[in-house]
Chain A
């Protein structure tokens, strides 16, 4: 039939932009026919995805065409969550928002809490918060992966996922720890396939055998929350055998830096320093003490010394070797904890040593180290590691991730061929430069704060505390409760605001954060808090809620004012080096999103709205000297003309008046056109000689300073031993001007160990393991991303409900069969779900898919939809707090260092539901009211019909 292959006529227009269906930020091409999106494929030139797209990315068309898209600004009439919202004009919406916000700014700016969920424009939103003058800003990291990010930034100057990547083109052995089929999505799939084709060995350490773990050579079903014990047993084995990269440790890490041993002293455990503050080492050739950063120093890795003042000091390496060689770190002990047999741990240690050190490939790419020594090339350390939320979302995640980095560093496997490699703009100084801003004197009515709300404390004096020691921030970030909460603590905002602890707020301003659903622990309680009233006044305890979202999500129903956002096809965005860039190991990259179609609804890009509000509030950065808007062209205008520092703007490519400059340079009015011509991304390939060991690579460090990626071209020594942690510990011992409250001293002393250690998840320590014998975890399906993806008409056919997966043996012992309704009970409550029996799970663990469950009425889905009646959230079972301690205070269910929500610590017991119980999941919430103005969803989706007729 010739018609079938007849070709001719016009090609559809293919418009390059950047995906926003998850956080990977792949380059896509949107195929338009008659201005309507018809198909999405990958941009083959793009450094992130090299032409592929995932299920989410390909389904973006239906995301854009969702019937749940908001159509106009809304205001609430009646009760939150119960009564309808009504459409209003943008003029009324902006007037209202500006009125509420300006009153707060004039009286007490911290009474605005501005939290932005899965925002990819934090370089703007954080800056806006600082201009407003509130410290109460963060995105979703405290709920997601701050443990991994913070551990990386305090240890290696980069981190897994966004600030580095496994070099699977060269790795022989790949450890994949706690990674579901996201973070990364496409880059990791591409790399795994390439590695398998080369014959590399993949070891998945994960209680669940799906996705990436399913194609691994070795699956180690580990008990959740015990990864740290396994890793430190590997460290024990490597140290026992002397299989570490000693020259790398001496040259590029703090292994040779001397630690003061002065029990009881104010500097015990800090580095011995010279009068200029430079850390000292003992030179192994001359025996003299000298600054370790002097180019001709040769730090010794062992041997105690006497300092000039008589105090004793020992090198970091000796301290760590002494610790991890103790029998308590041996494989037998770890086997008891993790469920991974001791023999397997020994074999893995041997495999690591062999992959790293036996006949390592040599890449003949000459380079110069920070000392100025020229090297003919780089020896590979072909052990790559990647870890993500399975490590992060536990209350021991920070120290566990530090342990993983310790292992990598001992193997010399940071930024070597075949190892973890940095992605620009990383590595950064450890910890990175900016301190958090928001101390009492920095928050002044009517004034911007002098810095950004989020930053990296170096010690207790950098915490954000009131004079009486209470937190300055509504979410308790940078307080003694969560000193290194470097991503803020989104999950605590609503609870604290409702309690007025540490103070009441006036306006809660949320963007892209589904807090009334799956971005909260204890969803039921969160919903109650949003509607809780002060009985004396009758007013809501959280007086005003402004929410910006593109869809009718569960949270929209609880807002007082809704600012409708566009879809990602209808906006400008920058994936900026100032924010969350798309750098690859071999190139400095950033990217933009560009409008592909024009919205036909009364919606506006949130960033445009923020700039407009900034101008209406008179925030200096958004208001010109004559009082007019500084960026009248909206976000696109801002992206081109805003300079954070002279010559440094949101976009690094094509700067300068002719677009001739990279990184630093005056704004280029044609910059966005240049991006568009290049497929909406910018890629600057690093020259040979600057691609490896970048933390100690002189040419790279100089280049990075030139491009504005680093302030100074100074070497970055990897921090096996973390002095900032010790500073907090010393405060807990009564030293220094800023000290923790009595009740937290023992906790700080214990967890702020400058060398990584493993401790049981706090929920287990609180005794939950006995009463609740099973660990319960969730993971995100590859085809869905949070609630935004999962109402997609194609994706929900792939996964439209979820079950609780239980190991066959575990289920058999409980008399549970496949498909049985079961009750799942935690310390916090009980839900009903349906059992699925599987083999590929650690027998003491049950698991389900995340964020499938929905509330009827939201997302333009009916009350009886499968997601609401056969789907469920584990969030409902997770308490925000741990059981109260002896002092009656219930600590947060979180990592004590970073405050990361410990939702993977959950423990449950399960039982077969009673014979009379209905098959639906429970709880099922009352459906949300229908939103006026939303179209009726189609009975049949036949979206291809207009295109199909004219294609051959």
Chain B
């Protein structure tokens, strides 16, 4: 069994994901795969890539759901990846210390050299955020692109996870959720950001912004007939200034 940091990390790096603008385009999914298959989390192998049923390891997936029916129905796209929980059961169940949570920034990682591929962590995660890479036998998960966000060779504006950098709907935001004055905390406050399954007590870092209430075509006053005192289309001359 593996211990969590003694104290809550000073920084809680994570994502705020906006379900209001996510169009389910999968850009974050592929960018994550492309970056991490060659980054710190890699490799992320794909079995039968050009075969009958290809199947690979992914750190981020987007699911589409229909919620409600008829007038109240809507289609929601839900990106799913590690939430970097404070009470990370995936860490505490790990028999080898491979799964760990970093004290400095709260990122939950897997040390590949210690992972025995037992999958206890994946069972412990209620969010389904971990996938075992069958080629290497090692558990894989979102690293928040730890090899980008702290890479000082990158220009500061590029030190963000690949999924955030590419998101065309600007639905993904990265930062320190422990900073109450920071842009992420403000965003969460403004938009009523939620944590997933709070009742389970894992205290995830990531937040999801719910869809904004749509602005319906309000039952507004319908258009009023233009006065026709000056004959057919008389109003046109008035609009033209006489």
Contact = CB atoms under 8 A, between A and B. Distances in A.
Contacts of A567: none
A351 interface: yes
Nearest to A865: B52
Contact of B27 (A38, A55, A209, A862): A55
Interface stretch (B87-95, B122-130, B164-172, B200-208): B164-172
Given A240-B223, A783-B25, A838-B66, A189 B47 contact: no
A519 to B, nearest CB: 22
Contacts of B170: 52, 190, 193-194, 197
A55 B56 contact: no
B42 A795 contact: no
A189 B23 CA distance: 8
A797 B56 contact: yes
Contacts of B48: 939-940
Interface string A57-81: 1110100000110000000000000
Contact of B169 (A192, A209, A237): A192
B22 interface: yes
Given A58-B30, A783-B26, A940-B135, A865 B44 contact: no
B82 interface: no
Contacts of A800: 53-54
B236 A948 contact: no
Q: Is the interface of A mostly helix, strand, loop or mixed?
A: mixed
A186 B168 contact: yes
B197 to A, nearest CB: 23
A840 B233 contact: no
B219 A347 contact: yes
Interface in A19-59: 33, 38-42, 44, 49, 51-59
A510 to B, nearest CB: 25
A189 B25 contact: yes
A240 B23 contact: no
A942 B34 contact: no
A783 B218 CA distance: 34
Interface in B8-30: 20-27, 29-30
A196 B211 CA distance: 11
B25 A54 contact: yes
Given A192-B21, A865-B51, 14 more contacts: A1-B102, A209-B74, A210-B24, A210-B75, A214-B77, A241-B224, A241-B225, A242-B227, A350-B223, A791-B50, A793-B46, A797-B55, A861-B51, A943-B43
Interface string A229-246: 000000001101111101
Interface string A167-190: 000000000000001000110011
A59 B227 CA distance: 59
Given A247-B239, A250-B240, A284-B240, A944 B23 contact: no
B118 interface: no
A42 B165 contact: yes
Which size bracket describes the interface of A in this complex? 35 or more
Contacts of B75: 209-210, 213-214, 840
B76 interface: yes
Nearest to B143: A4
A350 B146 contact: no
Interface stretch (A215-223, A466-474, A734-742): A215-223
B166 A41 contact: yes
B64 interface: yes
B36 to A, nearest CB: 7
Interface in A793-817: 793-798, 800, 808
Contacts of B102: 1
Interface string A335-357: 00000000110111111011000
B147 interface: yes
A839 B73 contact: yes
Contact of B109 (A4, A216, A939): A4
Contacts of A51: 165
A53 B31 contact: yes
Contacts of B42: 944-945, 947-948, 951
A829 interface: no
A229 B169 CA distance: 32
A327 interface: no
B215 interface: yes
A371 B100 CA distance: 72
Given A5-B146, A347-B219, A941 B165 contact: no
B50 A860 contact: yes
A211 interface: yes
A937 B50 contact: yes
A442 B56 CA distance: 57
Interface string A304-340: 0000000000000110011000000000000000000
A793 B21 contact: no
Contacts of A189: 23, 25, 168-169
Given A67-B50, A347-B220, A211 B157 contact: no
A864 B50 contact: no
Nearest to B64: A210
A692 interface: no
A862 to B, nearest CB: 6
Given A193-B170, A244-B239, A793-B46, A41 B51 contact: no
